[in-house]
Structure 1
Amino acid sequence: MPAHPSPSRTRRSPAAPRLAALLAAASLALGGCGSGPETAGANSPAGTGEPVSGGTLVYAEVTPINNWQTQAARFYEKANVLNSVLDRLTYFDPEKAELVPWIASAFSANADSTEFTFTIRPGITFSDGSPLDAAAVKANLDSFGLGVPAAQIQPNVDFAGYKTAEVIGADQVKVTLEAPNSNFLRATSSVTAGLVSPATLQKDAAGQSAISSISGSGPFVYESEKPDEEVVLVKRDGYAWAPDGADNPGEAHLDSVVIKYLPEVAHRAGAVQSGQVDLVRGLQPVDEAALAASGNQVLAADGVDLTVNMAAVRTGSRKLADPAVRQALQVGIDRRSIKDTVLSESYTLAASVLNHQAPGFVDLSADLAYDPEKARQLLDDAGWKEGSDGIREKDGEKLEVTVTSSNNSVVIKPAFELIEQQWRQIGVKLNNRAGDNTFLTTAMPDPNVEFFGTRQFIYGGLGPIFEPANNTMTHTSDPELNALFAAERAAAPGPERDEVLAAEQQALVVDKAFSLVLWDEVQVYGAHRNTHIEFTSGTAPIFQGAWKVDG
């Protein structure tokens, strides 16, 4: 789904403690066997010392992509590539937990978050040679905020309330919104707000969907493509405008990056061990310890920019219209059992709809404790009584619900298999269609499918996920929640906004239980021992700061 900050920021994934625990466990296991190589992790030879120049990094993604249009880059497969091709106005620094300058050397907002001013760094060009100046930024912002109806390109959902952009002076752009939106600046750091050349913007939807037609200002540029097989990027000579404070402010260390596709999850760890690939996304938990024990790396990139993994509630069938039923299902999930059975130490159990490191996170874990007796009582009080087969019924209808999801997460299907068993114990039948992409195609527009197993980027806050009445992700639009989302957009950064964020989380997770939360979003990568790689707060590989060592 799922997209990302700077390709040029070289910061370590915040998963080091969990990785260290995994490696320690692997080391003990090997010691008990009396054989096997020493393990290597983030502090392997490739993770230390000075950067090495040159070479090609081979990166394996999960599935091929046929549409590279910028606003559509809300999925990892797209964003993880475009992250290195497109720069953004701002960059979110996860260590500082704040936005820092990138293409915009300075940015500001008025008191009510309806006007924003960006000062554009001079001397930057797109890969087609055209200037990345204030006029080009205005054209991009209009495309994000208003869409391009003639090209059938929809507006960026994170740019709520966008009205106009105007060039003021030689190097400044002022954006005016129709309503306050304190999330607007944050949204300018997303890959879905990646800047492209004016010539790219002039292309129709098909033209903008072809990666060969996209001209960005990033540290890598497109070189070639074999459809459904690979995309080759080469470093851009002269790149010198990384985000403020980047460890590597200039050209990429690597000469090129080859993106290949490896949909077979069982082959991913082996591809790293054999040296066929340098980096792969989507390791199975069962493969993590073995890969680390082979002397290679298991790297967990935390998704600070996303919601947690959740079963997002959809109320079209009316079976989940009563909040008491949703609350019963929330406490009817044994999350610790999921962690112990399905996940690994790379995963952190959710304690809210926001992950633990997200700004404004509130710990609701006490309200998420597994309590099947409470769940049964809530369902009894809501009028759902057990039938002869153990499944609850009300007004002649069984409490039978369905979950859909993509196969992008390697743990989503087995997790819902366990939830299926847990809910059966409280009288609820779950039809598990998680990981079935064919079913997903028809289920997404169908509000009668009760759950969408998902995680979503939150550059525009939680509103774009749950607020729109025509939202095909959740099909849920609650007036009280929508008032909270509007209040969040209007709130000043700091204590006022944190208070509204806390109310949103309480409502979504506890009081209304529209988000049945599971685990913090994390993408688990396998990396060869000779590869140095770090990740953005959106889990994207930072190829601009990556390097490989010989041997």
Structure 2
Amino acid sequence: MPGIPTTASRSRTPPTNSALRGAPLLIRKKAAIAAAAILALSATGCAASVSAGTSSDSSNSRYGGTLTFLDPVAYTAFNVTNTLWSNSNVVPQLVDRLTYQDAKTGKIEPWLASSWDVSSDGLTYTFHLRKGVTFSDGTQLDAQVVKDNYDQHGLGDKAKGIAADSFFTGYVKSTVVDPSTVSITLSKPDAGFLQVTSIYRSGIVAKSTLEKDWNAQGQLDNLVGSGPFKVKSHDANNTTITLERRDDYDWAPQGFAHQGKAYLKEIVYKTVAEDSVRMGSVKSGQAQIARNILPTDEAALKSAGITVNSYSVQGEVNHLGINLNSKFVDNENVRLALQAATNRQELRDTVLSDSYGVAKSVLPQADHNFTDQSSYLQYDQAKAEKLLADAGFTKGSDGFLQKDGNTLGFTIYVAPYYQTSKKLLQLLSQEWGKVGVQLTVKEVDSGTYSTKILSADTAFNQTQWSRADADVLRTAFGSEYGFANKVANPELDKLLQSQAEAGTPDARQKIVTDIQKYLLEHALEIPLYDETQVFALAKTVNGFATEPVARAELYDTWLSK
């Protein structure tokens, strides 16, 4: 049987000072708009004033209150598979999954499924469902609705405009054994499948949601889950969203800090793009949590008595993905040279903060499958220059390398999802310029960006996949999955499939280590830094936690009176 994570009690993701993720690029507004946003927050009475919290509050006193959560990135469609950071901090409060992954240990524990069995050949997973679970529309959780959810993920639904989910590649079918038992069949063993049942994008939704087409499923009012909160209201553009507690909720994983209904009465999510407004709102008590704290704001917030926590994002490191169909990068010496010309320590120390880890592999240091491959990632200008010379490049009159009359140059676009992207890429341009490589940094709107990064003319794009399992590498690089390099690589595909079919956790880890080495030996990506999410928490916030890929969990969160 594949190396399946075992069931264990869970501890919540602890904040770390050497953690992970660069967050979305913030949309700047004029001062007048910023002032208006502050007034709007005040006028809506988002929350009570901040006062010193105390962890000694009795359990009963923890219930109640409204928490306001500020996000710089606009909310888009609320399909459960939407991985946009803003959306995926809301959806986990509304939907539950079959299983839950302990962020600290990586172990899988029961949730909507009270237990499960895996066949000896690793092809069949049978889940026994928890009884008494209801969706927010009052309907019951049963095997049929789980089957219908997983069929939409694994097979898609052309009539509804729903594509198959790449995380479910290998899915064959689900079978209703009885009302509380569902059996899932795979085409080949997949050691990471049980973990797929725990991720936020695999949240189980009600029949009323599944019956709608893709676009309608993305409308917030149509998202019906079994989570501890439900949608109360939202404005036309989803710039303000209010969730209210479900008082009948009583099926949290046993590893959570409490059972029964959530502590908070309501959660208000607001889109606030301007940094100063978000920071000022937390300082003044108009809001309790702000996501995406700029590295330059961390010290000032701490000095004002605001808690600043960074949380590890398991999955890939933040890196430059490489399209091998693009000019020059099909040459391995060029890619290895750019790897050596990238000064990761300088990037972290200049653009980021101590909250971010320096990349030491293709997986972040906090990832359970990480092995230190920093020997491949040492900054070495002389090595880079020699590799480029060996590739036949010579320096032109403008200082940049040339070959056959063509300048060794690339255009890269600022990623609108990472707040530090522009400054980081500009510094990277300077670093590569030292070895004669021209890197032109351009900034475009998000729609244009999505088109540009798919073009063969664009060799590099700043990216990252979040998933707390080694199979994230197959999701990203496999020919049947993300196909990151856009060129078939049978040797890599074989390694990626082998880790999924490994018979034991130790055997799987050995293969995963080989994959990390392979990707760096051939410079199939250029790691930048370990992914991090940084949150500012008001003094009144207690019990805040995130799941393995740093999406907020607010079930155990409470506000000091």
Q: Report the TM-score when normalising by structure 2.
A: 0.88
Partner of 2:93, secondary structure, is coil
The residue number in structure 2 matching 1:425 is 434
The residue number in structure 1 matching 2:473 is 462
Q: Quick one: structure 1 residues 320 and 434, their matched pair in 2 at CA, closer, same or farther if it must change by over 3 Å?
A: farther
The residue number in structure 2 matching 1:38 is none
The structural deviation recorded for 1:415 is 1.1
Q: Quick one: structure 1 residues 445 and 329, their matched pair in 2 at CA, closer, same or farther if it must change by over 3 Å?
A: same
Partner of 1:168, secondary structure, is strand
The structural deviation recorded for 1:10 is 7.2
In structure 2, distance between residues paired with 1:118 and 1:413: 46
**1:203-231 deviation per Cα after TM superposition (whole angstroms, max 9, x unaligned):** 11222010101110000100111133211
**1:214-272 deviation per Cα after TM superposition (whole angstroms, max 9, x unaligned):** 11000010011113321110011111111232112221100000000012234332221
Q: Which moved more, 1:492-501 or 1:414-423?
A: 492-501
Q: Which moved more, 1:164-173 or 1:136-145?
A: 164-173
The residue number in structure 1 matching 2:545 is 534
Q: Which amino acid aligns with 1:11?
A: R
In structure 2, distance between residues paired with 1:287 and 1:516: 28
Q: Is the 8 A contact 1:112 1:492 kept in 2?
A: no
**1:263-294 deviation per Cα after TM superposition (whole angstroms, max 9, x unaligned):** 22343322211222211111111100000100
In structure 2, distance between residues paired with 1:456 and 1:405: 17
Q: Which amino acid aligns with 1:270?
A: G
Q: Which moved more, 1:371-380 or 1:389-398?
A: 389-398
Q: Is the 8 A contact 2:282 2:538 kept in 1?
A: yes
Q: Quick one: structure 1 residues 69 and 174, their matched pair in 2 at CA, closer, same or farther if it must change by over 3 Å?
A: same
The structural deviation recorded for 1:106 is 1.0
- Does residue 319 of structure 2 align to residue 281 of structure 1? no
Q: Which amino acid aligns with 2:459?
A: E
In structure 1, distance between residues paired with 2:403 and 2:150: 51
Q: Is the 8 A contact 2:474 2:481 kept in 1?
A: no
The structural deviation recorded for 1:474 is 4.9
Q: Which amino acid aligns with 1:364?
A: Q
- Does residue 560 of structure 2 align to residue 549 of structure 1? yes
Partner of 1:165, secondary structure, is strand
In structure 1, distance between residues paired with 2:235 and 2:396: 56
Q: Is the 8 A contact 1:308 1:518 kept in 2?
A: yes
Question: Which of 517, 524, 527 is the equivalent residue of 1:514?
Answer: 524
The structural deviation recorded for 1:68 is 0.8
Q: Which amino acid aligns with 1:389?
A: D
Q: Is the 8 A contact 2:112 2:129 kept in 1?
A: yes
The residue number in structure 2 matching 1:498 is 509
In structure 2, distance between residues paired with 1:47 and 1:286: 29
Q: Is the 8 A contact 1:338 1:418 kept in 2?
A: yes
The structural deviation recorded for 1:372 is 0.6
Q: Is the 8 A contact 1:156 1:192 kept in 2?
A: no
In structure 1, distance between residues paired with 2:439 and 2:127: 50
CA RMSD in angstroms comes to 2.1
The structural deviation recorded for 1:137 is 0.8
In structure 1, distance between residues paired with 2:253 and 2:364: 25
The residue number in structure 2 matching 1:27 is none
Q: Is the 8 A contact 1:66 1:210 kept in 2?
A: no
- Does residue 459 of structure 2 align to residue 450 of structure 1? yes
**1:360-397 deviation per Cα after TM superposition (whole angstroms, max 9, x unaligned):** 21101122111010011111111122211111122222
**1:8-51 deviation per Cα after TM superposition (whole angstroms, max 9, x unaligned):** 977252316889xxxxxxxxxxxxxxxxxxxxxxxx95473345
Q: Which amino acid aligns with 1:14?
A: P
The residue number in structure 1 matching 2:35 is none
Runs of 4+ displaced beyond 4 Å: 16-19, 469-474
Partner of 2:172, secondary structure, is strand
In structure 2, distance between residues paired with 1:74 and 1:111: 33
The residue number in structure 2 matching 1:96 is 105
The structural deviation recorded for 1:431 is 1.6
The residue number in structure 2 matching 1:374 is 383
In structure 1, distance between residues paired with 2:504 and 2:52: 42
Question: Which of 63, 66, 74 is the equivalent residue of 1:64?
Answer: 74
Partner of 2:342, secondary structure, is coil
In structure 2, distance between residues paired with 1:491 and 1:395: 47
The residue number in structure 1 matching 2:207 is 198
**1:112-142 deviation per Cα after TM superposition (whole angstroms, max 9, x unaligned):** 4221111111110111111111111111111
Q: Which amino acid aligns with 2:439?
A: L
| Residue ranges of structure 2 left out of the alignment (5+ in a row) | 1-8, 21-50
Alignment of 1:33-182 (within 5 A): 46=53, 48-50=55-57, 52-71=62-81, 73-182=82-191
Partner of 1:143, secondary structure, is helix
In structure 2, distance between residues paired with 1:437 and 1:184: 32
Q: Quick one: structure 1 residues 499 and 322, their matched pair in 2 at CA, closer, same or farther if it must change by over 3 Å?
A: same
Q: Quick one: structure 1 residues 469 and 159, their matched pair in 2 at CA, closer, same or farther if it must change by over 3 Å?
A: closer
Q: Is the 8 A contact 1:405 1:437 kept in 2?
A: no
Question: Which of 255, 266, 286 is the equivalent residue of 1:256?
Answer: 266
Q: Which amino acid aligns with 1:179?
A: K
The structural deviation recorded for 1:408 is 2.1
Question: Which of 238, 243, 254 is the equivalent residue of 1:233?
Answer: 243
Give the fraction of aligned pairs with identical amino acids, expressed as a percent. Answer: 33
**1:436-485 deviation per Cα after TM superposition (whole angstroms, max 9, x unaligned):** 53541321321321111011123542112122378486535422211111
Q: Which amino acid aligns with 1:156?
A: D
In structure 2, distance between residues paired with 1:451 and 1:267: 33
Q: Quick one: structure 1 residues 435 and 349, their matched pair in 2 at CA, closer, same or farther if it must change by over 3 Å?
A: farther
**1:146-197 deviation per Cα after TM superposition (whole angstroms, max 9, x unaligned):** 1111111111111111101101234211111112221111111111111001
Q: Which amino acid aligns with 1:521?
A: E
The residue number in structure 1 matching 2:15 is 14
Q: Is the 8 A contact 1:158 1:187 kept in 2?
A: yes
Q: Is the 8 A contact 1:62 1:408 kept in 2?
A: no
In structure 1, distance between residues paired with 2:269 and 2:322: 35
In structure 1, distance between residues paired with 2:404 and 2:75: 46
In structure 1, distance between residues paired with 2:516 and 2:259: 38
In structure 1, distance between residues paired with 2:129 and 2:493: 34
In structure 1, distance between residues paired with 2:54 and 2:299: 19
Question: Which of 481, 488, 497 is the equivalent residue of 2:492?
Answer: 481
Q: Is the 8 A contact 2:135 2:226 kept in 1?
A: yes
**1:327-362 deviation per Cα after TM superposition (whole angstroms, max 9, x unaligned):** 111111111111211111111111111111212211
Q: Quick one: structure 1 residues 108 and 354, their matched pair in 2 at CA, closer, same or farther if it must change by over 3 Å?
A: farther
In structure 1, distance between residues paired with 2:419 and 2:263: 31
In structure 2, distance between residues paired with 1:200 and 1:209: 9
Q: Report the TM-score when normalising by structure 1.
A: 0.89
Q: Quick one: structure 1 residues 470 and 89, their matched pair in 2 at CA, closer, same or farther if it must change by over 3 Å?
A: closer
In structure 1, distance between residues paired with 2:117 and 2:435: 52
